[in-house]
Amino acid sequence: MRKSPALLLLLALQSMAVSTTMAGPVKNGFDLADALVPASKILSGGPQRDGIPAIDTPRFVTARAASFLKQDQRVLGIRHNGVSKAYPITILSWHEIVNDRFAGDPVAVTYCPLCGTGIAYLAQTGDQAMTFGVSGLLYNSDMLLYDRKTHSLWSQIMRQAVSGPMKTARLKAIPVEHTRWSEWKRRHPGTLVLSTDTGYSRDYSSSPYRGYEESRKLLFPVQAQDDRYHPKETVLGVELDGHFKAYPFVELEQTTGEVHDTLAGRNIVVQYDRDNRSASAAIANGDRLAAVTAFWFAWYAFHPDTAVYRADTQADNKK
């Protein structure tokens, strides 16, 4: 596969990051001496702190006015407090964090292009609202956010602060759909769409990670790997009561699109939309779970003890 210039640049950044792995407990201005994860495994992704600028004052347009967005492009769709919003992946890949609000609730919308993970959190601890920036650091190839009040580092996939005054604190994730724009718009015609008017000059028509999803290579080392699937195979990762399970899309392709399963002793339903390559999970009573769409390598790196759904061993996957 011919590597794009952007991918070659990322490979160069990887080499630079690995060469500075042992630089010490302070990286990008963050003190890692008290980190919950090994400081030596926290790597520079290349940019300095805020070198990838979070969007702090997001602007939105109506679905009709979102002419910059093609029907088959991917979005993170969120429905919260009666408000629907779509965040184009083409924008998120350049900014990684949008500090937003949904009818008063502070919400941090995050996307890690290296892991394919889009996760949204209620951005508060107790009654204290929080905003986040991009630290420029990675753990297990996944972005580390930092909150602007305490400068604690937060692991996106762990949903937890791993260093600083907020260490061990957790954020509550809210459901996110990773789907095609045409499908989100069909089901949410009144949706707002994150505008390309971000205040920054970026080429939102192209991805800085072109070719990465198809490559088997990782740009940064991870703590655990498993070769049952292509490293970038898309999975729906479900966490319930401290138990974890991955639903690879290649397995879900072999089902009717509705899988009845049991996790942590509770009945759940996984819905798979093969036309739009998206999946979601809910408890059998209908309550949606904040499952995450991710690359297989990323889910496994954080959850090496994960259960894995296999279509050929599930008796009830035809329900």
Dump pLDDT digits (tens) for 26-85.
999 999 988 999 999 999 999 999 999 999 999 999 999 999 999 999 999 999 999 999
Q: Kindly report the CA angle at 177 between 226 and 134, in degrees rounded to 5?
A: 70
Same-domain status, 162 and 76: yes
**Parallel, antiparallel, or unpaired: how do β-strands 42-44 and 30-31 relate?**
unpaired
Instruction: Specify whether 80 is located in the same domain as 174.
Output: yes
Helix (H, G, I), strand (E, B) or coil at 311: helix
CB 6 within 8 A of CB 210: yes
- pLDDT at residue 297, rounded to an integer: 98
pLDDT confidence tier of residue 24, bands split at 50, 70 and 90: low
CA–CA dist 159, 117 (Å, integer): 12
Sign of CA dihedral 250, 252, 254, 257: negative
pLDDT tens track for 7-22: 444 544 454 444 444 4
C-alpha atoms less than 13 angstroms from C-alpha of 48 in its C-beta half-sphere:
2
Is residue 245, in this structure, part of any structural domain at all? Answer: yes
Choosing from 128, 152, 187, the residue where a domain stops is: 187
Domain endpoint, select from 187, 208, 243: 187
DSSP characters for 228-274?
SS-TT-EEEEEEETTEEEEEEHHHHTTS-SEEEEEETTEEEEEEEET
Residue 176 and residue 242 in one domain: no
Asked if pLDDT for residue 278 goes beyond 70, the answer is yes
66 and 154 both lie in a single domain: yes
What is the Cα–Cα distance from 238 to 155, expressed in whole angstroms? 17
CA distances, 147 to each of 39, 43, 170, 276 (Å): 19, 18, 12, 34
- Of 19-28, 85-94, 294-303, give the lowest mean pLDDT range: 19-28
User: Is there a contact between 146 and 129 (Cβ–Cβ < 8 Å)?
Assistant: no
pLDDT digits (tens, 9 = 90+) for 219-240: 999 999 999 999 999 999 999 9
* Both structure tokens of 71: 């029907």
Residue 130 has pLDDT above 70, yes or no: yes
> Within a 10 A sphere around the Cβ of 64, how many other Cβ atoms?
9
The phi, psi pair for 16, rounded to 5°, reads -65, -40
Say whether pLDDT at 126 is over 90. no
Residues 170 and 271 in one domain: no
- Per the structure, the count of domains in the chain is 2
Is-contact 18 221, C-beta < 8 A? yes
pLDDT of residue 4: 52
Do 182 and 282 share a domain, yes or no?
Answer: no
Chain centre to alpha carbon of residue 115: 7
> Considering the domain boundaries, does residue 227 fall inside one?
no
Are residue 118 and residue 242 in the same domain, yes or no?
A: no
**219 in any annotated domain:** no
Per-residue confidence (pLDDT) for residue 252, from 0 to 100: 98
Which has more confidence, 6 or 257? 257
* Domain-located, residue 207: no
Residues 163 and 248 in one domain: no
Dihedral sign (CA 100, 102, 106, 110): negative
Cα–Cα nearest to 138, from 237, 234, 24, 18: 18
With 50 as the cut, is the pLDDT of residue 218 above it? yes
Same domain, 40 and 108: yes
Residue 197 domain-assigned (yes or no): no
Q: What is the pLDDT of residue 313?
A: 82
Q: Does 205 map to a domain?
A: no
Q: pLDDT category, 314, cuts 50, 70, 90?
A: low
Cα(124)–Cα(179) distance, rounded to whole angstroms?
Answer: 27
User: How far is residue 232's CA from residue 247's CA, in Å, rounded to a whole number?
Assistant: 13
Domain that holds residue 20: 5-187
